[in-house]
Amino acid sequence: MDGFYMTFKKYQKGQAIVYLIAFIGVISLAVAYALNSFEVVNEKTRLQNTVDAAYSVAMVEAKDLNFKAYTNRAMVANQVAIAQAVSVVSWIRFLELSTERIADITSWIPVVGAITSAIHAAVEAGKEGLEPAMQGMATLLDAWITILEKAQFCMHAATLVVADETLKDIVNKNDPDVDTSISLSDVYLVSEFANKHNSFTGRYDPDVVRKKSGGIKNYNRNKARMDSFRSITMNSVDGFFQRRDDDIPAIPKVNLLVFQAELRRGGATSLVGEGSHAQYGSWIAMDTLSVNTRT
């Protein structure tokens, strides 16, 4: 038994080293794979965070576009408010003049003349207070529109600076070792971004159309945009401001044999386009009272 045991023991000597080497090799490969996977995931996360800088710049640009959209709509709303003020002034002048004419015509009728004179005096007093208030409101609204225009210009210019700072800040926080040639401080990219930023939107001026300045191409471009703005604004007002032509229901038609007469009022408010005697881009309003006769 002793001889067999010694023989078996000698036969097994050194075999564990092979398995140990194989085991260490497998462990080494597993550790290397895990480290490599960690590096890949870490690099992917780092690059994703860095790429988020481009998204942040896009968000800055989007905020500028949203600001333009909101302020453009605010300008339309303020133009509509100016149209209301102009319409009210036109209407109160129409009432004052109409009641004055009616009071003159009926002055020889004792009771009726006194009533029409009192109505005219009341309308005249209302006109004296309302007209300056509406004119002041229109002036303030026009000034506010100018402020909105300047705010758009400032926001447009500031977007370039904010985009530059946003990109550099996010890149530096996520990857301080990133190649700085991809930042907006690079002259070429600054130029490209500025060109895209400035060409995507544009500023349009009614004075270019009024004065026909800047060449035919610039004139046509500004006129097309201003006419579009005029169309949007006119579609935003209600029917009273666009058209005030109808019969006066309180005063019936008068028929005397073959002679027929009726009172008609007419009026409208419009944002002046090209081809009018009034200044392009200004509001005009008209209200009239007429006697139409036919035989």
pLDDT attached to residue 287:
84
What would the mean pLDDT of 39-51 be, rounded to a whole number? 62
Secondary structure of residue 257 in the 3-state scheme = coil
Burial class (CB in 10 A: 0-12, 13-18, 19+), 242: middle
Confidence label for 41 from pLDDT (cuts 50, 70 and 90):
low
Tokens 């208030």: give the residue: 133
Contact (Cβ atoms closer than 8 angstroms) between residue 277 and residue 265? no
More confident call, 169 vs 94: 94
Going 268 to 273 to 279 to 282, the CA torsion angle's sign is positive
* Contact residues for 101 (Cβ-Cβ < 8 A; gap 6+): 289
Q: What percent of the chain has pLDDT over 70?
A: 66
Separation CA 116–CA 112 (nearest Å): 6
Answer whether 219's CB lies under 8 Å from 212's CB: yes
CA distance 1 to 196: 95
SS3 212: coil
Give the pLDDT of residue 95. 85
Helix/strand/coil for 199: helix
Q: Are 57 and 196 in contact (CB under 8 A)?
A: no
Please name every residue paired with 293 in a beta bridge, in sequence order, or none if there are none: 261
Q: What is the mean pLDDT of residues 52-68?
A: 83
Indicate the pLDDT class of residue 38, thresholds 50, 70 and 90: low
Contacts of 162 (CB under 8 A, 6+ apart): 60
Q: d(Cα 278, Cα 92) in Å, to the nearest integer?
A: 21
Can you give the pLDDT at residue 250? 43
Cα separations (Å) of 242 from 116, 170, 225? 30, 53, 21
Q: Which 8-state DSSP code applies to residue 274? A: T
Least confident of 4-18, 84-98, 108-122: 4-18
Lowest mean pLDDT among 14-18, 69-73, 178-182: 178-182
Average pLDDT over residues 208-237: 82
Give dist(CA 235, CA 119) in Å, integer: 35
Whether the CB-CB separation of 233 and 283 falls below 8 Å is answered with: no
β-partners of residue 290 are 264
Residue 255 CA to residue 275 CA, distance in Å, equals: 41
pLDDT for the residue 188: 56
pLDDT tens, position by position, 279-290 = 777 888 888 877
Structure tokens at 232: 């949007």
What's the chain's length in residues? 295
